[in-house]
Amino acid sequence: MKKVGIIIAFFAVFLCLYFLQANFFTWFTIADVMPNLFIIFLLFIGLFAGKKVGAICGLVFGIILDFCIGKSVFMYGVMLMVVGFLGGLLDKNFSKDSRITIMLMVIGMTCIFEIGIYLISVLLLSANLEIVAFLRTLLIEIIYNVLLTIIVYPLFPALGYPIEEKFKGKTILTKYF
Amino acid sequence: MYKNKKSGIIGIIVTIVILIVIVFLSNVEVGQLSDAQNVFTSLIMPVQNGLTYLKNKLSGNDSFFTDINRLQEENEELKQKNKELEESLRELEITKNENERLTELLGLTEKYSNYTTIPAYVINRDMNNYSNMIVIDVGAKDGIKENMVVIADKGLVGHVVSVSDTTAKVQTIIDPSSTVSSTLTTTRDNIIVRGSIEGESRLKGTYIQPDVLIAEGDSIETSGIGGIYPKGIHIGVVKQVIPTKNTTDRYVWIETAVDFTKLETVLVIE
């Protein structure tokens, strides 16, 4: 599959996740808290397709989300771009073969994404600052995201390495030496 | 990658089961436990009845075995009839739901007849835990503009924040960025009602003057101050008064009149 085909496949997966998140996960909640599938997806893209593709995909998908349901343009755009970019950076220092590492990455990315979104809401959109309630929600969301990561983890290496070969084919081995 | 494929699959299945159990337990209410009892009863009792029936037959009636062929034919006929009945039931259910929705919209329009309103369906909800927006299926083509007020059968929903040709985004009153100037229906004292991330259908009432008498069950409505929401739209009732050392800091939790988890039809006030 060519790079363009993979990008189109990313977009198709994004649409599936959008409908899943908007319909299924609005009622399949833990204590009224939804997971965030986009964080896991953008982390996947960043890890296997590189920081540039991760950042661009994050920005595009985020802006689509902003247009569809967001309160301000670029809120999701910027934060998903950060997740995609950081995913690419993490690839240089950590192994993708360990389930625990991926789970820790999801925990970190969920924290960064949600704290960023909440800070933007508080500082720019004058949302009320409720630290205890925010931390409680964040903790449940992290647990939910980690559980989903355990379920979808086998897809990471199975789908990820062919993608990595296409996007980082020439540099894939040089980083280890 | 999983070292052992079999244990990996078992791990995934166990995680899915744990997830389903957590989701179920976190959403179950105490009152629903009687339903669980009913479920168990309805699962076990037919089997128990069947076993009792079998035991009675075996102990004294030989004709039970000779009738099996006839019973099988009858069973097939009944299954066919049951299938047909289920199909008609499904059709009826669809018609009933459609009827209920239309009646709800009609009722809404009559209730708020002093306002010119545009009926709409909720077509999308927010996917973030820290904001609460909805998208409705009417837009600029239907005459929707920014800052128009959105209501439901039991009270206030929010206001329009952005409009496309065919849809409009509505910031609900339970959104953490939402602030509504409100009045206690009984004493006519003003308070400020804010959205919160602490659960849906819950608002925080603040800026309560020290001399104001406020109690659980007090009704809250819009005050008309602020320029967006008109006066007198029901918001909800006081669920809990939280006293603090300093009386100026005390606040109340308000239960919204509208159930935002089941919100399907709304009216936009022109």
Count of CB atoms within 10 A of residue A65's CB? Answer: 21
Over the stretch B233-250, which tens digit does the pLDDT of each residue have? 889 999 988 888 787 788
Q: CA of A94, closest CA in chain B: separation in Å?
A: 14
Q: Domain ranges in chain B? A: 68-111, 117-174+265-269, 179-256
DSSP label at residue B159? E
Provide the token pair at B44. 């076990």
At B188, is the secondary structure helix, strand, or coil? coil
Class of B179-256 in CATH = mainly beta
Please list every residue in chain A whose beta carbon sits closer than 8 Å to the beta carbon of residue B194: 128
- Given a cut of 50, is residue B1 above it in pLDDT? no
Count of CB atoms within 10 A of residue A42's CB? Answer: 30
Q: Domain ranges in chain A? A: 3-176
**Interchain pair B2, A118: CB under 8 A:** no
CA distances from A52 to A83, A117, B248, B249 (A): 11, 22, 52, 49
Fold match between B117-174+265-269 and B179-256?
Answer: yes
Lowest mean pLDDT among A25-34, A53-62, B53-62: B53-62
Which of A150, A152, A161, A164 should be substituted to probe chain B, the one whose Cβ sees the most B Cβ atoms within 10 Å? A150
Please list every residue in chain A whose beta carbon sits closer than 8 Å to the beta carbon of residue B3: none
Whole-model pTM: value is: 0.73
A18: closest CA among A78, A73, A67, A81?
A: A67
- Given a cut of 60, is residue B32 above it in pLDDT? no
**Interchain pair A150, B11: CB under 8 A:** yes
For the domain made up of A3-176, give the CATH fold.
Arp2/3 complex 21 kDa subunit ARPC3 (1.10.1760)
**Interchain pair B176, A128: CB under 8 A:** yes
For A99-102, the CB contacts below 8 A with 24+ separation are A99/A150, A99/A153, A99/B2, A102/A43, A102/A149, A102/A153, A102/A156
Q: How far is CA A142 from the centre of its chain?
A: 12
d(CA B135, CA B156): 16
Q: Would you say B133 and B169 are in contact if contact means Cβ atoms under 8 Å apart?
A: yes
Amino acid at B51: L
Between B114 and B177, the more confident residue is: B177
The angle that helices A37-49 and A75-93 make with each other, rounded to 10 degrees, is 50
**Interchain pair A118, B130: CB under 8 A:** yes
Alpha helix positions (H), A50-154 = 51-68, 75-93, 99-124, 131-152
Confidence of residue A176 (pLDDT cuts 50, 70, 90): low
- Closest alpha carbon within chain A to B173: A127
Q: The domain B117-174+265-269 is classified under which CATH number: 2.40.10.340, 3.40.220.10, 3.30.360.10, 3.40.50.620?
A: 2.40.10.340
In chain B the beta strands, taken as DSSP E runs, fall at: 117-125, 133-136, 149-151, 156-163, 168-172, 179-184, 190-195, 202-206, 219-222, 234-242, 251-256, 265-269
Average pLDDT over residues B256-270: 87
B198: closest CA among A26, A72, A139, A33?
A: A33
What does the angle CA A155 – CA A156 – CA A157 come to, to the nearest 5 degrees?
100
Over the stretch B133-189, which tens digit does the pLDDT of each residue have? 898 988 888 889 988 999 988 889 999 988 888 889 999 999 988 899 998 888 888
CA distances from A93 to A88, B3, B90, B203 (A): 10, 22, 56, 45
- Closest alpha carbon within chain A to B133: A69
Please list every residue in chain B whose beta carbon sits closer than 8 Å to the beta carbon of residue A141: 129
- Closest alpha carbon within chain B to A115: B130
Residue with tokens 């503009």: B145
Amino acid A171: pLDDT: 62
Q: Establish if B123 touches chain A: CB-CB under 8 angstroms.
A: no
Over the stretch A86-143, which tens digit does the pLDDT of each residue have? 999 988 888 888 889 999 999 999 999 999 999 988 888 888 888 898 999 999 999 9
Q: CA of B85, closest CA in chain A: separation in Å?
A: 30
Please list every residue in chain B whose beta carbon sits closer than 8 Å to the beta carbon of residue A127: 130-131, 175-177
Average pLDDT over residues B100-121: 74
Please list every residue in chain A whose beta carbon sits closer than 8 Å to the beta carbon of residue B2: 99, 154
- Listed in sequence order, the residues at least 6 apart from B85 whose beta carbon sits closer than 8 Å to its beta carbon are none
Q: Would you say B187 and B194 are in contact if contact means Cβ atoms under 8 Å apart?
A: no
Q: Establish if B197 touches chain A: CB-CB under 8 angstroms.
A: yes
DSSP label at residue A21? I
Over the stretch A7-47, which tens digit does the pLDDT of each residue have? 999 999 999 999 888 888 888 888 888 999 999 999 999 99
B167: closest CA among B211, B191, B134?
A: B134
Q: Would you say A134 and B130 are in contact if contact means Cβ atoms under 8 Å apart?
A: yes
